Structure 1
Amino acid sequence: MTTLHMTVGDREQLREETLQFVSNAEEQNSDDRHVLQFGTYDDLVSHLTPLRLSLIQTIAKTRPTSMREAARLVDRDISDVHSDLKQLEVLGILSLKEGGPSGTVQPVVSFDHIEMHIDYSLLDDRDADSAPASV
């Protein structure tokens, strides 16, 4: 199984955790470790909207041969799907393979699982100092 690990949180902390994660993966001799980092939860939800997640899942399940077929499968406008596919390609979540039937571009998801690790602080560091103690 190939898993895409998405992490959200403090960039420096994520950097350290990712280095440890990669080190552990190398010790396990695994080439199937892929990590995508987002600095904040807002970054994650702006890039991975419910429509985009549905599109990713549909492509992984049905393996459409073109962008147009992918748009038809999710019942969306081709221009919107094209834009989403380009953004997802930039993020490394999928690839767009040229040379499909009749010169089409085929979206390909090379992961079969996405795992999200979210560090969502309820208090900013400055808030933690002034927070009332609980009794």
Structure 2
Amino acid sequence: MTTLHITVDDRESLREDALQFAQDVEADDLDDQDGTATLQFGTYDGFVDSLTPLRLELVWAIAKEAPESMREAARLVERDVSDVHSDLKQVEVLGILTLEEGGPSGAIQPVVPSDRIEVHIDYPLVDSGDADGTPASA
């Protein structure tokens, strides 16, 4: 099973993760991913703007039905082909699916390489503040 992990975290955590990844690459110290991939968003707004309910429904339909073309994917979700095409391009940029040329009948075929998506959202309701527990905004 291949799992796509989606995380929403603050920009500083994303920066630290990227620096650690770069250091691991330089040291040739990357662990096997065990069939996982990670997509990170720096803000909750970025997450919900990118992965709308319509786009998630489209990804689910493609994973379940394996359509042979964008047109067939549009039929699955009962949406206009041009809107689905636009959404597929956006989701492809995120790395959630691929658009493979040369599908049956020469069409571009959307393919979801993951079997599962897991989402972790770090959404603090209060500033973490200083070490003494005082909120940063006080």
> TM-score with structure 2 length normalisation?
0.81
Higher share in helix: 1
The correspondence for 2:36, drawn from 13, 19, 33, is: 33
5+ long unaligned stretches in structure 1: none
Paired position in structure 2 for 1:108: 111
What SS is found at the alignment partner of 2:96?
coil
Equivalenced residues, count: 127
The correspondence for 1:42, drawn from 26, 45, 49, is: 45
5+ long unaligned stretches in structure 2: 25-29
> Could you say if the C-alpha distance between residues 130 and 92 of structure 1 is closer, same or farther in structure 2, counting changes exceeding 3 Å?
closer
Paired position in structure 2 for 1:83: 86
Matched, 1:120 2:123: yes
1:48 shift after superposition: 0.3
Equivalent residues of 1:66, 1:105 under 8 A apart: yes
Matched, 1:13 2:13: yes
CA RMSD of aligned residues (A): 2.4
> TM-score with structure 1 length normalisation?
0.83
Equivalent-residue separation in structure 2 for 1:42 and 1:98 (angstroms)? 32
